[in-house]
Chains A and B, each alone.
Chain A
């Protein structure tokens, strides 16, 4: 099993993701420079957080045209796993690998804090270690996390179980006051129809050690490694 962490100019959570995969998940992992065009040999790639291309134009809008993104599209079409975190989620939406878009937070501020999210669908490669309704404490750190999509996309997401995480309070209720950024229907993370591409605004790689306030993020990486191991057998 091999993980890759894509590095764009301006990525800044690439080392966190690398650290978690090598130290806590215990799997081989490589950095992949954004000019790379071949992802063969990898089972999963992480599109990490940060400010690729300085967030110029729109968050993720320019990274979408980096050479590696063609390879990521092909990789996703082959059914391999792509996890986009924060800026990675924005890049996946901009490239059309995930539906919808991430706009400026409704309160306009950059928000950096621990929030609660709940599992809406445990039947994905990223959540199979979890239960529906389970609440995770995971930090967010973004100014553009306000998920928007049109009505037909939204109903499709709901119908296909593509809404994977919702912002909620500590009891697991996805109420308006627990929505940090104005996201439609408290959406914190979605997957594609085939469920092998996931984008989420919260940072699970920053929640893998008690010292950092939470290790709830580990279950997401553990779910993914389980699924990859299952496929290998």
Chain B
């Protein structure tokens, strides 16, 4: 089983890196882009002996305690078979 974790800046937090990327799309002449925000993506391989609930709990804990800083970031966990 694998887990995918997406860490994104909270909507209230400004994202200077996303802004810079957005600006670059404009330099390339790409139109109709409203906003770009940068985040992080993690792929976690889990031991197959874990149940789905255990896997979900384990990855939630990793996301909450390590991968995301709750002051500025949100996270989303997806289990993939």
Write the residues of chain A forming the contact surface with B, with a CB cutoff of 8 angstroms: 57-58, 61, 65, 93-94, 99-101, 103-108, 146, 148-150, 182
Contacts and interface: CB of A to CB of B under 8 A. Distances in A.
Given A57-B66, A150-B12, A108 B20 contact: yes
B20 A100 contact: no
A149 B69 CA distance: 12
Contacts of B46: none
B57 interface: no
Contacts of A100: 71
B80 interface: no
A150 B17 CA distance: 20
A167 to B, nearest CB: 17
18 contacts: A61-B66, A61-B69, A65-B66, A93-B71, A94-B69, A99-B71, A101-B71, A101-B72, A103-B13, A103-B72, A105-B16, A106-B16, A107-B16, A108-B17, A146-B16, A148-B72, A150-B71, A182-B14
A103 B18 CA distance: 13
On chain B, which size bracket covers the interface?
10 to 19
A94 B12 CA distance: 19
Contacts of A104: 16-17
Contact of A106 (B12, B14, B69, B71): B14
A104 B13 CA distance: 11
Contacts of B17: 104, 108
Contacts of A105: 16
A58 B7 CA distance: 12
Nearest to B9: A103
Nearest to A107: B16
A8 to B, nearest CB: 16
Contact of A148 (B13, B20, B66, B67): B13
Nearest to B40: A57
The residue in A57, A108, A182 that gathers the most chain B C-beta atoms within 10 A of its C-beta is A57
A101 B17 CA distance: 16
Nearest to B65: A65
